[in-house]
Structure 1
């Protein structure tokens, strides 16, 4: 999994875009259609799919989990100059619809 948006290699963690606590919402809205394994196995839930995860520094992971940090796909290029003038690292194998799902969950609490 090489999907960190920063260039940091230390103190990074896998963060869920749609948290495991929202698995009922995930299933109800059929978000598994954006996953690489649509039928989870081995005791994993659909939210544990690799396409629902992103590598983040610990501080960004905490901010993401507390809905103080969200991704706004499509506008990143417009806002990039506001954030340290650094380009984000390319997101590989992350399901963009799940980025939108995290954004929606951050705004509209279940």
Structure 2
């Protein structure tokens, strides 16, 4: 039987949802798309193959709410809206680089483990 969790192990952890949800498919990809500078909504759709306009809008709004992205609307017809990483969003580029390096180094092991699991 597993031992009960020590409630003190979570001391210092915020009791709110993390800014980047582990299962969120798009946040890290959006950060990558914006890491080299601002882009318009339509420019984001191109590299984010498979994302719907609704999901892109929801993701950008959530990231703006969390302080990761800034949204600037320029007047005109049609209005020009530009998204860019806020300083907080830029601070995630390094950890994303680390996660990508880990993925590249360990992907064969992960795929092998999946194959072993599936063949049981």
Same topology, TM > 0.5: no
TM-score normalised by L of structure 1: 0.31
Determine which structure has more spread, i.e. the larger CA radius of gyration: 2
TM-score normalised by L of structure 2: 0.29
Relative to total residues, which structure has the larger helix share, 1 or 2?
A: 2
